[in-house]
Amino acid sequence: MRHTFHLKTLAVAVATLSVASVASAAGLDRSGQDITAFLQDGTYAEAVYTYIDADVTGHDNAYVGSDDKAYTQGKKIDDIAESYDFFRYGVKTDINDTFSVGILYDEPFGAAADYVGDNNFVARGDLDASVNAISEGNASSPTDASNKISLLTQGATAAGIAAQNFAAQAQSATNAQDAANFAAQAEAAQAQAQNLVGQARSLGAAVAAANAEEANTGEGTQVEVRSESVTGILGMKFGKNKNFQVYGGPVLQRVTADVKLRGIAYGPATGYTAHISPDQDYGYLAGIAYSKPEIALKAALTYRSEIEHSMNIAETYPLVAAFGDNPSQGGVIDITTPESINFDFQTGINPTTLATARVRYVPWGDFSIVPPLYTETSKLNPDFPKGLPLVSYDEDQWLVELGLAKRLAPALAVSGTVGWDSGAGNPVTSLGPTEGYYSAGLGAKYNVTENWAISAGGKYLWLGDATGQLPTQKTVADFESNDGFVLGVKVSYQAQ
């Protein structure tokens, strides 16, 4: 009986030590969507504050040319990762020995990046340099581009006339072989005309983008994504000793976002701005848990559904004006936040030591942000007839965290964790250029009274190196040797 008492006390003492273990670096993952507050015994409530500060620096790409994969180390990119914080709240109670109810609040997904300084992600207003970079070296200045556009247009006109003449000769030819030859020449001349028109259009787009760059001089690329989630949970215990529990409930989620693309790194897309208005929609949560109190064992498998949002979006794309259309347009964008699976586990090793494990899976490879004006405009590039997303990821996220907790005194416990986050692929979007992380953390909990406790923790992150690329898969930056830290504090109440 004494061992059982120790282990149960230990489980209570360390239940909230992982306050700083919820920051994730893959995709837009932030809170980790923790539901362990609902799995506590008796009546339980918690309020958690988490602060994250990452140092993400690198170099832009100084290469100018047509090889999208080529990279030449360019100017330094100072820290782009804005520090951010978020809250998590949870309340649960047992209705009787079978049913439990709870409500959880967290901020599951988000992003915060801000480019500053002298690099390709900040609008510098140098027209000549902008035209040269955006045209991939095909024009050195607006004047040079204008002259070449004139020559290309003349060449396209001449090729078009030649195509018409060859086509007419093919029609009037009396010899089948001659007709075939003239038809082939007409086809080749028409292809040449289309190619020259495409080159002229590309140079015109480069000049238009350079003008947008100049109009935004001093502005840097920025992205901010915010989300909030409220989850209601009903649980039912079953089995001979009520060791099993199934639980589930509705999830209300709210999402909003702002994006600004600035600098010559984005080529013709420089100057693009989008505001995605807040939207809320619903999903669900479902899970199953098992507990064995005499050895402080708890295991829970939780599934959260994807949530589909249909959101109003206001886009400004300066390039569009070069083709005679309105560069500022409103529309609707559909964004689906991903489903996820969490596995939480703990077990007593001895009367004063607890082992913990956590695994999380999120299929970020299925996620994308596809703004209508941005995507429709990208179809003007013949290489992307289906259009391009603004943000997408190549791989799914796996997160694994292992920990040990030790009760040092009846009211004091400490813990340590190590973790790994796979990231969501590399190369990755320049709006969030890290590839997962390794982590190490420490935490402590002090029971102020029998029911009230305060916990604090910290974690150090070794962020994965990443290559920043555009949706066109063009390499635009390299980010290496970055790190960050997470701090968290929790106040909790428990009555059994």
Q: Band of the pLDDT at 3, cuts 50, 70, 90?
A: very low
Show the beta-strand stretches assigned E in 338-436.
340-350, 353-362, 368-369, 391-392, 397-409, 412-421, 428-429
Chain position carrying tokens 């949002």: 309
Distance CA 8, CA 2 (A): 10
Determine the pLDDT at residue 376.
93
Rounded (5°) CA angle 491-493-494: 145
Show the beta-strand stretches assigned E in 7-116.
43-55, 58-61, 73-77, 84-94, 99-106, 111-114
Q: Band of the pLDDT at 206, cuts 50, 70, 90?
A: confident
Q: Tell me what the mean pLDDT of segment 198-223 comes to.
A: 83
Determine the pLDDT at residue 21.
47
- Amino acid of residue 77: I
Distance CA 400, CA 439 (A): 10
Q: Looking at the predicted structure, is the pLDDT value of residue 305 above 60?
A: yes
- φ/ψ (deg, to 5) at 157: -65, -45
Q: Which of 142-146, 179-183, 358-362, 425-429 is the most confident on average?
A: 358-362
Helix (H, G, I), strand (E, B) or coil at 176: helix
Q: Which residues are 45's β-sheet partners?
A: 91, 493
pLDDT tens for each residue of 432-467 = 888 889 999 999 999 999 999 999 999 999 999 999
Q: Say what the pTM is.
A: 0.87
Q: Looking at the predicted structure, is the pLDDT value of residue 182 above 80?
A: yes
CATH superfamily placement of domain 2-118+227-271+284-305+339-495:
Outer membrane protein transport protein (OMPP1/FadL/TodX) (2.40.160.60)
Q: Band of the pLDDT at 25, cuts 50, 70, 90?
A: low
Higher-confidence residue of 351 and 341: namely 341
pLDDT tens for each residue of 442-451 = 999 999 999 9
CA dihedral 40→41→47→52, nearest 10 degrees, is: -20
| Range with the poorest average pLDDT among 1-5, 38-42, 390-394, 463-467 | 1-5
What HEC string does 262-298 produce? CCHHHHHHCCCEEEEEEEEEEEEEEEEEEEEHHHCEE
Chain position carrying tokens 């599934």: 303
Q: Tell me what the mean pLDDT of segment 209-219 comes to.
A: 82
Q: Looking at the predicted structure, is the pLDDT value of residue 24 above 60?
A: no
Do the bridges between strand 244-260 and strand 222-238 make them parallel or antiparallel, or are there none, so unpaired? antiparallel
pLDDT tens for each residue of 257-302 = 999 999 989 988 889 999 999 999 999 999 999 999 989 999 999 9
The token duo for 340 is 């996820």
pLDDT tens for each residue of 40-79 = 999 999 999 999 999 999 999 998 888 889 999 999 999 9
Domain extents in the chain: 2-118+227-271+284-305+339-495, 124-215
Q: Which of 152-156, 275-279, 410-414 is the most confident on average?
A: 275-279
Contact between 336 and 304 (Cβ < 8 Å):
no
Determine the pLDDT at residue 459.
93
Residue 176 exposed, middle or buried by CB count within 10 Å (0-12, 13-18, 19+) = exposed
Q: What percent of the chain has pLDDT over 70?
A: 95
Query: Average pLDDT, whole number, for the chain?
Result: 89
